[in-house]
Amino acid sequence: MIQEEIQRLEMLAGKVADKLQLLEQDNHALKEELFVLKNKLDEKEQMLEDFKNQIKIAKLVNSLPVEDIESAELREKINNYIKEIDNIITYLSE
C-alpha cells in the first residue's frame, strides 16, 4: 500500500517535471517572440518619425518664398535629398 502510494507520487512528480519543462520552453519562445516584436515596433516608430520629418521638410519647402524658377530647383534638390535619405534608411534597415 505504501509502495503503491510512493509509485503514484513518483509518477505525478514526473508529470509535473515534464509539464514544467514544457512551460519553460514556451516561456523562452514567448520571450524571444516579444524581443523580435519589440525590435519591429522600434523600427516602425523610427520609420514613422522619418516620415514625419519628411512631411515637415516638404511643408517647409512649399512655404519658402522664392522665385518660381529658384523654387522649382530648390524643391527638386530637396526632393532628391529626401529620396537619397529614403534609400539610406532602406539600406540600413536591411
Calculate the alpha carbon distances from 50 to 2, 82, 83 in Å. Answer: 71, 10, 12
Our count of domains for the chain comes to 1
pLDDT digits (tens, 9 = 90+) for 40-83: 999 899 888 888 888 887 777 677 665 666 667 777 888 888 88
Domain that holds residue 35: 2-93
| Cα–Cα distance for residue pair 85/79, rounded to 1 Å | 10
The packing angle between helices 2-63 and 68-93, to 10°, is 160
Residue 16 confidence (pLDDT) above 90 = yes
Higher pLDDT, 64 or 23: 23
